[in-house]
């Protein structure tokens, strides 16, 4: 028996040796086409069950039969590859990125970047090519019409104006901000900082939309997250230099409102026929004084062919240990209104180093300086549309000449007017803003163990803005006494983030990623203002050259000088887990606890969480035979988010100054405390389908429901308390809707391509609860109201036209659909409060989106992007001034006002001017501002490489023509329908831009 046992053991060892001899070890690394290691790639021997997955460095090592000839390598987002085995040598296998949109590399918030096809959350990425096509000072403008559910509106054509309004899936709050969180290379920031960056330095803009993607950002993610990723150099790549230049010009995108104003003769006819002014009075006032011109004032006040230039240079490259990217840029833009320009200079340095196999470190830094000359807001002390530069462009009397009989510009006042020449006013009122900015971060990444990554990142977003405004004593109305003021605004946000991430796999079918982190944020802002008057010489205009007013210490506040500051802190802890089962079922969960100093002491902390899942149906066996279906993913996510976008001291009692009955000032409590103030909360549910058809069509459809509770609102207080309002948690709001994104590769070949893309969003909003049991709350002086059961609505008197019998204006009586009452034709008899009612028009448009084409053939390329908004309404406040010839006699009038009531024209649009009719602020000014706009158009040509082969310096040359806002289709009669406001007046609209450019790579 003992001999048999020894014989059996000997045979066992011999068989093991034989088996070992028949198997050999294969080693190697799997990387992407960008050279980065692919973690979790599947590697197996063809025709065998032997295999494994790559580690955190993309490496693999396992035994395969000695007879094995090849390895099959696959990774989600990459094209699978079969390679021949090389024994005794470390193999390097490079996988190419898949062409499908579902497989792009994206940032999902903290931790490693991942492929779209493996991400449960709802994300959309706009790459650098789209940014190139948008000739705007802000990269955010390129998002318009590109992301389903994201509303992007440029509200002004003023050069250097940071007025891009962005919201995701409607407004999420009635009192707090609805602006998304901006994150630049991991550092929370603002849209103003993005404007101070060179768009060519940005690699991508990624929009995180659903709870699965955003909840890990907790209290700041209630309105979505826009992640800005800047460009980096590449390891093991040759140095390259790229120089880009653009030169062009801009002009008004829409002149129709200016051109619809009356000529001098038309205005005289209107005055005479309606009795506003007699012929004799016109002769004495105008003709006898030589004022019988036909001046088109908008040509005088608006600047045409305004130059715009941009030049930048980028140097990038890297070796085995260090990669780098450095850039510098210059941008200049002159606005369409006189006296307005914007200059920006930037420098960027992004450096990444991996000195050891387990250590990586880097620095991203952007320095900026910009200077802005703001055009004068007012021509005199009035602050109405009729006195702004934009208002005077269409309202100033055309009978008045811009120049005297000798052809010289009137130096001060316009002929026969109290209003001063805006060119002259600008010269005497310089108003300069200088801004210095720095945003950057340094990071350290350690891999102490296989698949374990520890990252620490410290960053800051700093800005210093200086304003210098002067009112020269030589300005005639000043009578030789001038004034000056200076202000300084300093702002910074410091962030420190620490994360630890561990990726592991139980086997090739069960893969996990776990992340935990901590983050602290300090926000600070201070402002100081100095003022003095009494300067007597234009050359001595510093504040110290003047004198202060006579005042006591309390009266001084807000007069000759003032200072204040804001400060807030966030402290957060968060975690996330991702799980992939057989690369078919994906799950994630995240949690975050935020503490914020803005809230009451007992309510400063809140916890937010999210869960999500994705089923890759196409990988199921029963779907394999459907050849035209390349991919099909079903997603669902649910989670909570928070909003802390309120004042830094909203929960605290504050003191200020007030005037008592004896007209003297004293210290009083200006704001009551609210120790119960806490987070605004949101719950977000999203269902999504992602699919790819015929290897050409990518279609994403999402349905979402977002419910906001404990809204942060300023609730009115009884006046007997001494306070007007207090910030409180009240009310609920609901948004629900659908997003659709479609991308189609219509044609594709090595020599040509044609692609089409479109995005669509429909959002339905409803207020479900207000405060103190109220069913309606009208917001004073805004023409909007909050009503339970409805979205935010416009509330105003509803105009019912002109009474055919007597030419009087009519308005619908509230509570009736057809009852018409005739009120008096003058403002004294018009009682707005008695007639205000729901107009049936929504303040926020329910539909927005965009579409575009890209095409190319043998080096020639063309790209165009359209954006649209449907169901948008605006009160045209400019029309109140231009359509009131009796109220504003002596000023110009719209040609439309010639259609006024007479006994022979009873169907007229306007009332009988001869009765002194005054048009009111009612729904005749509420216009449909829906629009379709050709936002960007670019045509490019790449020189053939064959033309450059004779030398070794220039690697590539590309020429471009770019146009912006070239076409707008709208029924809105005002300056610009894109303004995101309840009303518009005197605001310069967006401009048309034409630019020629060249890009040279060395």
Q: Kindly state whether residues 16 and 40 are assigned to the same domain.
A: yes
Alpha helices for 429-553 (secondary structure H): none
User: What's the whole-number mean pLDDT along residues 691-704?
Assistant: 94
Average pLDDT of the residues in 960-966: 93
Strands (E), 294-449: 306-318, 322-334, 341-356, 359-373, 431-446
Per-residue pLDDT band for 478 (boundaries 50, 70, 90) equals confident
Residue 112, SS3 per DSSP: coil
Three-state helix/strand/coil letters over 581-625: ECCCEEEEEEEEEEEECCCCHHHCEEEEEEEEEEEEHHHCHHHCC
pLDDT, position 9 = 40
Asked if 933 and 965 touch (Cβ cutoff 8 Å), the reply is yes
Alpha helices in 420-502 (DSSP H): 422-428
Ranking 204-218, 648-662, 763-777, 928-942 by mean pLDDT, the lowest is 648-662
Q: How confident is the model at residue 512 (pLDDT cuts 50, 70, 90)?
A: very high
Output the pLDDT for position 833.
67
Structure confidence at residue 76 (pLDDT)? 60
Residues 6+ apart with CB under 8 A from 299: none
| Exposure letters 775-814 (e unless 16+ CB within 10 A, then b) | eebeeeeebbbbbbeebbbbbbbbbbebbeeebbbbbbbe
Distance in angstroms between the alpha carbons of the first and the last residue of the chain:
82
pLDDT at 105: 61
170 Cβ contact list (under 8 Å, min separation 6): 178, 706, 735, 737, 763, 765, 844
CATH number of the structural domain spanning residue 211: 2.170.130.10
More confident residue, 570 or 820: 570
Binned at pLDDT 50, 70 and 90, residue 558 comes out as very low
Q: What is the pLDDT of residue 768?
A: 95
Positive/negative CA dihedral, 880, 883, 884, 890: positive
**CB-CB contact of 520 with 495 (8 Å):** yes
**Same structural domain, 111 and 210:** yes
* 64: CATH: 2.60.40.1120
* Domains contained in the chain, number: 3
Is residue 764 very low, low, confident or very high in pLDDT (cuts 50, 70, 90)? very high
> Please, what is the average pLDDT of the chain?
84
Residues 142 and 228 in one domain: yes
Residue 655, H or E segment: strand 654-659
pLDDT tens for each residue of 531-548 = 888 889 989 888 888 876
Among 760, 623, 611, 754, residue whose Cα is nearest residue 686 = 611
Q: 76 with 200, same domain?
A: no
Confidence at residue 66, expressed as pLDDT on a 0 to 100 scale: 78
- Asked if residue 219 has pLDDT above 70, the reply is yes
Q: What are the structure tokens assigned to 249, written together?
A: 């010009």
Q: Which of 9-23, 41-55, 365-379, 405-419 has the lowest mean pLDDT?
A: 9-23
* Residue written as token pair 């992340």: 515
| Same domain, residue pair 69 and 120 | no
Query: Is 684 a domain residue?
Result: no
Distance, C-alpha 137 to centroid of its chain: 12
Choose among 315, 349, 312, 343: nearest CA to 329. Answer: 312
Domain identity same for 105 and 212? yes
Which pLDDT band holds residue 455 (cuts at 50, 70, 90)? Answer: very high
Dihedral pair phi/psi, residue 287, rounded to 5°: -60, -45
- Domain of 896, in residue numbers: 797-837+884-918
pLDDT at 379: 39
pLDDT confidence bin for 555, thresholds 50/70/90? very low
Q: What is the mean pLDDT of residues 897-915?
A: 91
> Domain ends where: 212, 237, 262?
237
Among 64-78, 388-402, 772-786, the least confident range: 64-78
Give the three-class secondary structure for 470.
strand
The proportion of the chain whose per-residue pLDDT surpasses 70, expressed as a percent, equals 88
The reply to whether 423 falls in a domain is no
CB atoms within 10 A of CB 80: 12
Pairwise CA distance, residues 277 & 268, whole Å: 8
* The pLDDT of residue 234: 84
Q: For residue 432, is pLDDT > 50? A: yes
At residue 8, does pLDDT exceed 50? no
The listed range with the strongest mean pLDDT (173-177, 467-471, 765-769) is 765-769
Residue 925 phi/psi, 5° resolution? -95, -10
SS3 content of the chain, % helix, strand, coil (to 5): 15, 50, 35
- Sign of CA pseudo-dihedral 619, 623, 625, 628: negative
Residue 155 and residue 53 in one domain: no
pLDDT class of 394 with cuts at 50, 70, 90: confident
Residue 469 in this model has a pLDDT that exceeds 70: yes
Average pLDDT over residues 963-970: 93
522: phi then psi, degrees, rounded to nearest 5? -120, 120
554-583 mean pLDDT: 79
Q: Are residues 232 and 111 in the same domain?
A: yes
In a domain, 202, yes or no: yes
Last residue of a domain, one of 35, 61, 95: 95
Identify the residue with better confidence: 835 or 280: 280
| DSSP run (H or E) holding 700 | strand 697-709
Per-residue pLDDT averaged across 433-453, rounded? 94
Residue 192 pLDDT: 87
497 versus 662: the higher-pLDDT residue is 497
pLDDT band at 981 (very low <50, low <70, confident <90, very high): confident
Residues 91 and 106 in one domain: no
The Cα-based distances of 957 to 202, 325, 862, 945, 1000 in angstroms read: 21, 20, 16, 9, 5
Residue 625 is assigned to a structural domain of this protein: no
Let me know: does 643 contact 596? Beta carbons within 8 Å: no
DSSP string, 831-886: -HHHHEEEEEEESS-SEEEEEEEEEEETTEEEEEEEEEEES-EEEEHHHHHHT-TT
Tens of pLDDT, residue by residue over 847-869, are 999 999 999 998 899 999 999 99
Q: What is the reported pLDDT for 814?
A: 81
pLDDT band per the 50, 70, 90 thresholds, residue 133: low
Query: pLDDT-based confidence at 886, cuts 50/70/90?
Result: confident
Name residue 44's beta-bridge partners: 51, 72
> 717-756 pLDDT, tens per residue?
877 777 778 888 899 999 999 999 999 999 988 788 999 9
Residue 139 inside a domain? The answer is yes
Give me the torsion for CA of 60, 66, 69, 75, rounded to 10°: -20
Lowest mean per-residue pLDDT among 16-20, 234-238, 408-412, 874-878: 16-20
Q: Which residue has the higher pLDDT, 564 or 764?
A: 764
Residue 881 to residue 386: CA distance in whole angstroms:
7
User: d(Cα 89, Cα 862) in Å, to the nearest integer?
Assistant: 47
CA angle 687, 689, 690 (to 5 degrees): 140
The 10s digit of each residue's pLDDT in 236-291 is: 888 889 999 999 998 888 888 888 999 999 999 999 999 888 999 988 888 888 88
* pLDDT-based confidence at residue 820 (cuts at 50, 70, 90): low
Angstrom distances, CA of residue 247 to CA of 310, 609, 770: 7, 49, 52
Q: Are 135 and 119 in contact (CB under 8 A)?
A: no
**Among 68-72, 797-801, 962-966, which stretch is predicted with the lowest mean pLDDT?**
68-72
Please tell me the predicted confidence (pLDDT) of residue 32.
79
Residue 805 inside a domain? The answer is: yes
Query: What average pLDDT does range 973-1002 have in this prediction?
Result: 86
Confidence of residue 936 (pLDDT cuts 50, 70, 90): very high
Specify the 3-state DSSP secondary structure of 477: helix
CA separation, residue 391 to residues 124, 302, 384, 988, 991 (Å): 40, 11, 8, 9, 17
- Rounded CA-CA distance 82/710 in Å is 57
Of 8-12, 217-221, 872-876, the range with the highest mean pLDDT is 872-876
3-class DSSP state of 11: helix
Per the CB < 8 A criterion, the answer to whether 95 and 79 are in contact is yes
The C-alpha angle 856, 206, 742, rounded to 5 degrees, equals 50
pLDDT at 714: 86
Same-domain check for residues 106 and 202: yes
The dihedral sign for the CA sequence 941, 943, 944, 945? negative
The residues, any chain, with a CB within 8 Å of residue 1's CB and separated by 6 or more, are none
Cβ pair 536, 473 in contact under 8 A = yes
In contact, 365 and 351? CB cutoff 8 Å: no
Out of 863, 893, 918, a domain closes at 918
Of 37-41, 89-93, 337-341, 438-442, where does the model show the most confidence? 438-442
pLDDT band at 11 (very low <50, low <70, confident <90, very high): very low
| Structural domain includes residue 900 | yes
**Residue 261 corresponds to which tokens in the numbers above?**
């104003």
Asked if pLDDT for residue 577 goes beyond 60, the answer is yes
Instruction: Report if residue 140 sits inside a domain.
Output: yes
At 419, the pLDDT band (50, 70, 90 cuts) reads: low
Q: 666-699: string of b/e by CB count within 10 Å (b at 16+)?
A: eeeeebeebeebbbbbbebbbbbebbbeeebbbe
Structure token digits, residue 100? 């499908």
User: Is 949 exposed, middle or buried, given 0-12, 13-18 or 19+ CB atoms closer than 10 A?
Assistant: exposed
Average pLDDT over residues 709-719: 85
Which sign does the torsion angle of CA 803, 806, 808, 812 carry? negative
**pLDDT value of position 765:** 95
CB atoms under 10 Å from CB of 411, counted, come to 12
Q: What whole-number distance in Å separates Cα of residue 32 and Cα of residue 26?
A: 20
For residues 464-481, give the mean pLDDT: 88
Each residue's pLDDT tens digit, 136-184: 778 888 888 899 999 998 877 788 776 788 999 999 888 888 889 999 9
Task: Summarize the confidence of residues 449-477 as an average pLDDT.
Answer: 91
44-74 confidence digits (pLDDT tens): 887 665 777 787 577 888 888 877 888 888 7
Is the pLDDT reported for residue 706 higher than 50? yes
Considering the domain architecture, whether residues 57 and 119 belong to the same structural domain is answered as no
Same domain? 164 vs 79: no
In terms of Cβ atoms closer than 10 Å to its own Cβ (0-12, 13-18, 19+), residue 11 is: exposed
For the entire predicted model, the pTM comes to 0.84
């Amino acid at each position: 028996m003992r001999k048999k046992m020894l014989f059996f053991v000997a045979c066992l060892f011999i068989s093991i040796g034989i088996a070992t001899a028949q198997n050999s070890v294969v080693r190697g690394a799997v990387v992407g086409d960008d050279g980065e290691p692919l973690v979790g790639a599947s590697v197996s021997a063809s025709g065998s069950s032997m295999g494994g997955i790559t580690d955190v460095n993309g490496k693999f090592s396992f035994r395969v039969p000695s007879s094995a000839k090849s390895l099959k390598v696959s990774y989600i987002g990459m094209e699978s590859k079969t390679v021949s085995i090389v024994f005794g040598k470390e193999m390097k296998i490079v996988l190419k990125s898949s062409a499908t949109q579902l497989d792009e590399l994206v940032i999902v918030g903290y931790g490693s970047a991942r492929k779209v096809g493996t991400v449960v959350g709802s994300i959309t990425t706009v790459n650098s090519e789209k940014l190139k096509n948008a000739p705007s000072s802000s990269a955010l403008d390129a998002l318009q019409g590109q992301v389903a559910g994201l509303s992007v509106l440029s509200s002004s054509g003023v050069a250097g104006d940071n007025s891009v309004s962005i919201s995701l899936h409607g407004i999420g709050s009635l009192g707090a901000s609805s602006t998304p969180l901006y994150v630049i290379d991991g550092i929370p920031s603002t849209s103003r900082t993005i404007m101070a960056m060179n768009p060519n330095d940005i690699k991508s803009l990624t929009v995180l939309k659903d709870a699965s993607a955003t909840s890990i950002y907790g209290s700041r993610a209630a309105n979505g997250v826009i992640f800005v990723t800047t460009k980096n150099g590449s390891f093991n790549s040759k140095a390259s230099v790229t120089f880009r230049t653009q030169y062009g010009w801009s002009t008004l995108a829409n002149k129709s409102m200016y051109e619809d104003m009356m000529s001098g003769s038309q205005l005289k006819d209107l005055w005479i026929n309606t009795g506003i002014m007699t012929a004799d009075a016109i002769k004495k006032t105008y003709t006898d004084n030589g004022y019988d011109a036909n001046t088109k004032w908008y040509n005088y006040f608006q600047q045409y062919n305004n130059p715009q230039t941009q030049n930048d240079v980028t140097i990038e490259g890297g070796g085995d240990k260090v990669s780098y990217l450095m850039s510098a840029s210059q941008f200049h833009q002159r606005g369409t209104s006189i006296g307005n320009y914007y200059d920006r200079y930037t420098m960027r340095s992004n450096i990444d180093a991996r000195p050891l196999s387990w250590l990586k470190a880097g620095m991203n830094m952007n320095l900026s300086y910009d200077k802005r000359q703001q055009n004068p807001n007012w021509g005199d002390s009035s602050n109405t549309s009729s006195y702004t530069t934009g208002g005077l462009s269409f309202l100033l009397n055309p009978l008045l000449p811009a120049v005297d009989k000798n052809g010289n510009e009137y130096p001060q006042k316009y002929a026969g007017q109290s209003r001063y020449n805006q060119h002259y006013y600008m010269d005497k009122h310089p108003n300069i803003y200088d801004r210095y900015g720095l945003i950057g971060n340094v990071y350290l990444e350690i891999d102490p163990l296989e698949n374990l990554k520890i990252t620490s990142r410290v960053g800051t977003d700093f800005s210093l803005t200086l304003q210098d405004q002067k009112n020269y004593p030589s300005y005639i109305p000043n009578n030789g006494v001038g004034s000056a003021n200076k202000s300084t605004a300093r702002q910074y946000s410091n962030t420190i983030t620490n994360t630890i991430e561990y990726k592991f796999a139980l086997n090739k079918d069960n893969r996990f990623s776990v992340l935990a982190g901590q983050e602290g944020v300090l926000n600070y802002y201070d402002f100081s203002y100095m003022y003095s008057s009494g300067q007597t010489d234009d050359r001595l205009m510093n504040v110290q050259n003047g004198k202060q007013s006579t005042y006591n210490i309390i009266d001084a506040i807000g007069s000759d000088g003032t200072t204040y500051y804001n400060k807030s802190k966030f402290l957060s802890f968060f975690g996330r887990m991702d799980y992939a089962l057989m690369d078919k079922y994906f799950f994630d969960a995240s949690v975050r606890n935020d503490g914020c100093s803005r809230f009451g002491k007992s309510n400063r902390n809140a916890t937010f969480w999210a869960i999500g899942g994705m089923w890759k149906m196409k990988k199921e066996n029963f779907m394999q035979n459907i050849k035209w279906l390349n991919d099909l993913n079903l997603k669902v996510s649910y989670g909570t988010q928070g909003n802390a976008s309120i004042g830094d001291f909203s929960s605290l009692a504050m003191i200020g100054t007030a005037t008592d009955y004896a007209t003297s000032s004293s210290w009083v409590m200006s704001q009551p405390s609210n120790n119960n103030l806490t987070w605004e909360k949101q719950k977000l549910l999203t269902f999504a389908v992602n699919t790819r058809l015929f290897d050409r069509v990518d279609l994403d459809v999402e349905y979402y429901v977002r419910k906001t509770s404990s809204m942060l609102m300023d609730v009115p207080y009884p006046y007997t308390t001494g306070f007007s309002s207090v910030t409180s948690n009240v009310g609920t709001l609901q948004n629900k809707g659908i997003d659709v994104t479609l991308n189609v590769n219509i044609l594709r070949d090595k020599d040509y391509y044609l692609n089409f893309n479109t995005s669509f969003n429909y959002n339905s909003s409803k207020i479900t609860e207000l405060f103190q049991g109220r069913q309606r709350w009208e917001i004073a002086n805004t023409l909007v109201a909050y009503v339970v059961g409805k979205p935010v609505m416009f509330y105003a008197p509803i105009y019912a036209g002109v009474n055919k019998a007597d030419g009087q204006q009519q308005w619908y009586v509230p509570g009736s659909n057809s009852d018409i009452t005739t009120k008096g034709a003058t403002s004294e008899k018009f009682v707005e409060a008695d007639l205000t009612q729901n107009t049936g028009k929504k303040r926020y448009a329910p539909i927005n989106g965009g579409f575009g084409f890209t095409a190319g053939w043998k080096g020639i390329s063309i790209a165009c992007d359209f954006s649209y908004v449907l169901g948008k309404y605006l009160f045209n406040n400019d029309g109140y001034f231009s359509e009131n010839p009796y109220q504003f006699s002596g000023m110009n009038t719209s040609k439309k006002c010639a259609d006024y009531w007479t006994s022979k024209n009873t169907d007229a649009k306007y009332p009988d001017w001869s009765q002194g009719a005054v048009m009111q602020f009612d729904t005749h000014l509420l216009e449909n501002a829906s629009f379709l706009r050709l936002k960007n158009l670019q045509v490019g040509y790449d020189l053939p490489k064959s033309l450059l082969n004779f030398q070794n310096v220039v690697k590539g040359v590309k020429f471009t023509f770019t146009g912006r806002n070239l076409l707008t289709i709208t029924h809105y009669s005002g300056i610009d329908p894109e303004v995101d406001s309840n009303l518009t007046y005197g605001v310069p609209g967006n401009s048309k831009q034409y630019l020629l450019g060249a890009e040279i790579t060395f």
